[in-house]
């Protein structure tokens, strides 16, 4: 069956398979690090610091990675990313006494570089496989790719919690490193085309977007993901474990199901936004959906302060937040691929995901710092949720400036 597909699509399927395999280990590793180091007695702020380099180098990688992809081809940036993730996992196989904050931060830095090389490669490749006039198809393909990736990330969260209980930290990391090594070796053989090479080699200064639409969308994306991670990365899993008494499998399993559901909603976003009936999303669509999400964290925060079960408030609030956030994320993912130029597409996509990584970095730092400063527990989580509300209101304000009709560079 695969032999009847075009060479471009077969190559893209390999890129997507690599992206999925990487995402599974990335989600598992994040859950492993949060739960393992919390069990060792690390404070929320110290746990957040473990991810600082992961997010910081994600910012740098997206900026430089787009330029590398245009020069080297997306197949090479994908393989480099896989190899770096194997090295990052291997760094965590050292004796427990070596697992200092600095060492784990260094390993997370490599993992951050690897992850964003993979994401940039996969998201950029899809632009080259869909005709410029087929915007409905482009939205559908981007939604399916993004949704399936997040479903696998959720499965990775669950896998991380289960492996930690079954194999321990070292055994879990070793199993993931071995599996990803096999994927990397297969990728070296199967990925042969220089997909995504720019016909005119861009200069280094071209890493920064000159498109007003892309700059506005990037700012909105930064605020959107900062609003999610300010309570989701550190505050939420620590609250579930510390305040609600959930064990590793329960915490990992719940967050896994949340992300899987989030990915499923992303995959059907074209139906939810009406694009299957012929309308193509634009800046107005993104603004409306951002407004629908903006006040939800405040409602959850108020619920935590009321005389209601905190577990009920969080579970119900998270379900609604995940659904609305998934549509917002899917709309943004479509718009950046739509706005990006076809020649050297990775430059525009890389710049946009640099802003995405910056939002995650800001959110991660605030998640650990605010949660600890506000006394942890329900008060700490509520403080993080109020900050999320402010960031989402800023997202709505910025989104008003997005083009009202889908623009093409």
**Can you list the domains of the chain with their CATH numbers?**
2-399 (1.20.1250.20)
Indicate the average pLDDT of the chain: 79
pLDDT at position 409 is: 39
Query: Would you write out the chain's pLDDT as a tens digit for each of its 409 residues?
Result: 455 656 666 766 777 788 888 888 888 888 788 777 877 777 766 777 777 777 788 778 777 766 676 667 777 888 888 899 999 999 988 887 787 778 888 888 888 888 878 777 776 766 665 655 555 666 666 777 777 777 777 778 778 878 887 888 888 888 889 989 998 888 888 776 665 555 555 554 555 556 788 888 889 999 999 999 998 877 888 888 777 878 766 777 787 788 788 778 877 777 777 655 556 777 888 899 999 999 999 999 998 887 788 888 888 998 899 899 989 988 888 888 777 665 556 677 777 878 888 898 889 888 888 888 887 778 888 999 999 999 999 999 999 988 876 444 3
pLDDT at position 397 is: 95
- Residue 151, classified by CB atoms within 10 Å of its CB into exposed (0-12), middle (13-18) or buried (19+), is buried
Contact 233, 364 (CB under 8 A): yes
H/E/C letters for each residue in the chain? CHHHCCHHHHHHHHHHHHHHHHHHHHHHHHHHHHHHHHHCCCCHHHHHHHCHHHHHHHHHHHHHHHHHHHHHCHHHHHHHHHHHHHHHHHHCCCCHHHCCHHHHHHHHHHHHHHHHHHHHHHHHHHHCCCCCCCHHHHHHHHHHHHHHHHHHHHHHHHHHHHHHHHHHHHHHHHHHHHHHHHHHHHHHHHCCCCCCCCCCCCCHHHHCCCCHHHHHHHHHHHHHHHHHHHHHCCHHHHHHHHCCCCCHHHHHHHHHHHHHHHHHHHHCHHHHCCHHHCCCCCHHHHHHHHHHHHCHHHHHHHHHHCCCCHHHHHHHHHHHHHHHHHHHHHHHHHHHHHHCCCCCHHHHHHHHHHHHHHHHHHHHHHHHHHHHHCCCHHHHHHHHHHHHHHHHHHHHHHHCCCCCCCCCC
pLDDT at position 283 is: 81
pLDDT at position 209 is: 53
Buried b (16+ CB within 10 A) or exposed e, 266-275: bbbbbebbeb
């Amino acid at each position: 069956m695969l032999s009847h597909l075009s060479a471009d699509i077969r190559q893209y399927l390999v890129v997507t398979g690599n992206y999925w395999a990487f995402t599974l280990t990335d989600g598992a590793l994040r859950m492993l690090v949060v739960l393992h180091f919390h069990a060792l007695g690390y404070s929320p702020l110290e746990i957040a610091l473990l991810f600082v380099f992961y997010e910081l180098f994600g910012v740098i990688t997206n900026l430089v990675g787009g330029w590398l992809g245009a020069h080297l081809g997306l197949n090479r940036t994908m393989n480099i990313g896989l190899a770096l993730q194997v090295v990052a996992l291997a760094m965590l196989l050292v004796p427990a006494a070596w697992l200092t904050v600095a060492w784990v931060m260094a390993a997370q830095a490599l993992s951050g570089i690897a992850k964003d090389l993979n994401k940039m490669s996969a998201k950029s490749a899809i632009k080259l496989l869909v005709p410029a006039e087929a915007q409905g198809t482009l939205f559908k393909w981007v939604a399916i790719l993004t949704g399936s990736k997040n479903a696998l990330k959720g499965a990775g969260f669950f896998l991380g919690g289960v492996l930690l209980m079954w194999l321990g930290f070292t055994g879990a990391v070793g199993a993931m490193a071995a599996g990803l090594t096999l994927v990397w070796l297969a990728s070296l053989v199967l990925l042969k085309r220089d997909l995504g090479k720019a016909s005119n080699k861009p200069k280094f200064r071209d890493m920064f977007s000159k498109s007003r639409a892309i700059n506005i969308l990037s700012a909105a994306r930064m605020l959107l993901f900062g609003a999610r991670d300010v309570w989701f990365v550190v505050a939420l899993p620590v609250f579930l474990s510390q305040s609600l008494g959930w064990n590793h499998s329960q915490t990992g399993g719940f967050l896994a199901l949340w992300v899987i559901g989030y990915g499923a909603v992303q995959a059907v976003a074209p139906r939810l936004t009406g694009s299957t009936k012929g309308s193509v999303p634009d800046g107005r669509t993104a603004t409306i959906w951002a407004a629908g999400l903006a006040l939800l964290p405040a409602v959850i925060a108020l619920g935590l302060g009321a005389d209601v079960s905190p577990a009920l408030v969080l579970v119900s609030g998270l379900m609604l937040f995940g659904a609305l956030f998934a549509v917002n994320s899917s709309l943004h993912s479509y718009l950046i691929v739509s706005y990006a130029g076809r020649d050297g597409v990775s430059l525009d996509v890389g710049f946009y995901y640099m802003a995405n990584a910056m939002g995650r970095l800001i959110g991660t730092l605030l998640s650990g710092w605010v949660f600890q400063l506000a006394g942890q527990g329900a008060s700490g989580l509520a403080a993080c949720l109020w900050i999320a509300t402010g960031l989402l209101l800023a997202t709505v304000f910025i989104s008003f400036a997005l083009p009202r009709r889908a623009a093409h560079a």
